[in-house]
């Protein structure tokens, strides 16, 4: 081998070595996602199921989330796209115990709540809600719901998916102006506030002087805890029972006493079981999000700055009083 050929071969090996090193670093920083999200045109059956939303099939898609080594999807749903291309989850079904991205919601329940928002709020109302519900309110209920989030904060992801979850947060935040972050941060701050007066004043500012309403769901407590884990801590326990009965609530309370848990709690039917949602710190029961939702505490104080106008299952709609 001539010196020139040896030189060329050496350079080639060095370049190849750097290429392998770069690929190894890339692979280490970008592990294979433990799940896959697929969007597809909506089928005739799925379109019929969401007729109550009044949206054309061109706006609608079906979505599936699949995990490795699982034969069937772990979550499915129907989503809509607005003019900016933002994805709006209209229905969602989880096939596993913990929610994947969103809590479960049926077409019938979502359509009923969105129709109620249209019925119980004036046309010039501003409805303040989590970013996913805000999109549905704009699309279906036809009311101003200005809050959104380009970071899709609160998306429910198992801890093991945190790295791969960045791509999902980018997917659900696509089409949202980055300027939305400030308003959504202020909304989360208000929900975490323990002083109702300060919280209501902060919410009114977000409504910019218009009649203001707040729409919340039990799952919002989980999304808020996911977005602000240092400020809100929530957990759950499932009881093998269908529906919510006085006996079940007594059993849940006894379990909490046995575990020395003194925080607020809420119960919610979950298929063939009932889920006990509870805060892990007693002080979290004083936050506005806990008082807006049916989280029981030993001495609950009634809200004075917000009035309940509608409630259906896990949804609660309030009017901000003048």
Rounded mean pLDDT, 235-264: 85
Looking at residue 121, what is its pLDDT?
97
pLDDT per residue as tens digits for the range 34-46: 889 999 999 999 9
Which DSSP helix (H) or strand (E) runs through 268?
strand 265-270
pLDDT per residue as tens digits for the range 96-154: 888 999 999 999 999 999 999 999 999 999 999 999 999 999 999 999 999 999 999 99
Whether the per-residue pLDDT at 60 is higher than 60: the answer is yes
Give percent above pLDDT 90 in the chain. 68
Asked whether 306 and 321 are in contact (CB, 8 A), the reply is: yes
pLDDT per residue as tens digits for the range 159-175: 777 777 888 999 999 99
What SS3 class is residue 227?
Answer: helix
Looking at residue 322, what is its pLDDT?
84
DSSP state of 162: T
Whether the per-residue pLDDT at 53 is higher than 90: the answer is yes
Which DSSP helix (H) or strand (E) runs through 159?
none
Asked whether 133 and 155 are in contact (CB, 8 A), the reply is: no
Whether the per-residue pLDDT at 299 is higher than 60: the answer is no
In angstroms, rounded to a whole number, what is the distance separating the alpha carbons of residues 27 and 21?
Answer: 10
For residues 253 and 177, the model is more confident at: 177
Asked whether 196 and 304 are in contact (CB, 8 A), the reply is: yes
Which DSSP helix (H) or strand (E) runs through 150?
none
Whether the per-residue pLDDT at 19 is higher than 60: the answer is no
pLDDT per residue as tens digits for the range 77-90: 999 999 999 999 99
Asked whether 77 and 93 are in contact (CB, 8 A), the reply is: yes
Asked whether 75 and 65 are in contact (CB, 8 A), the reply is: yes
In angstroms, rounded to a whole number, what is the distance separating the alpha carbons of residues 224 and 237?
Answer: 19
Compute the mean pLDDT over every residue in the chain, rounded to the nearest whole number: 87
- The pair of structure tokens assigned to 220 is 């919002």
Whether the per-residue pLDDT at 1 is higher than 60: the answer is no
315-320 sheet: strands from edge to edge: 126-128, 212-217, 315-320, 306-312
Whether the per-residue pLDDT at 2 is higher than 50: the answer is no
- The pair of structure tokens assigned to 78 is 């129907």
Length of the chain: 322
Handedness of CA 79, 190, 249, 101 (dihedral sign): positive
Looking at residue 109, what is its pLDDT?
96
């Amino acid at each position: 081998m001539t010196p020139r050929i040896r030189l060329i071969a050496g350079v080639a090996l060095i370049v190849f070595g750097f290429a392998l090193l770069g690929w190894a670093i890339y692979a280490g920083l970008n592990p294979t996602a433990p799940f896959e999200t697929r969007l597809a045109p909506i089928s005739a059956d799925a379109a019929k199921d969401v007729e109550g939303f009044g949206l054309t099939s061109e706006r609608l898609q079906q979505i599936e989330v699949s995990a490795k080594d699982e034969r069937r999807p772990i979550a499915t749903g129907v989503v809509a796209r607005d003019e900016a291309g933002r994805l709006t989850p209209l229905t969602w079904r989880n096939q596993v115990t913990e929610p994947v991205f969103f809590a479960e919601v049926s077409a019938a329940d979502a359509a009923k709540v969105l129709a109620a928002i249209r019925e119980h709020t004036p046309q010039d109302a501003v409805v303040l809600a989590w970013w996913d519900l805000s999109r549905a309110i704009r699309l279906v209920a036809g009311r101003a719901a200005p809050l959104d989030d380009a970071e899709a904060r609160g998306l429910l992801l198992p801890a093991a998916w945190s790295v791969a979850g960045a791509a999902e947060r980018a997917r659900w935040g696509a089409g949202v102006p980055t300027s939305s972050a400030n308003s959504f941060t202020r909304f989360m701050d208000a929900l975490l506030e323990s002083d109702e007066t300060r919280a209501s004043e902060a919410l009114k500012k977000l409504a910019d002087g218009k009649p203001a309403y707040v729409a919340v769901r039990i799952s919002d407590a989980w999304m808020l805890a996911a977005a602000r884990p240092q400020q809100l801590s929530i957990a759950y326990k499932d009881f093998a029972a269908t529906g919510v009965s006085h006996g079940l609530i007594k059993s849940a309370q006894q379990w909490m006493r046995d575990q020395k848990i003194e925080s607020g709690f809420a119960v919610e039917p979950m298929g063939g079981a009932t889920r006990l949602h509870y805060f892990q710190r007693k002080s979290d029961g004083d936050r506005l999000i806990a008082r807006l939702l049916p989280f029981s505490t030993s001495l609950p104080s009634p809200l004075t700055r917000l009035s309940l106008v509608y409630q259906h299952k896990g949804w609660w709609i309030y009017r901000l009083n003048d």
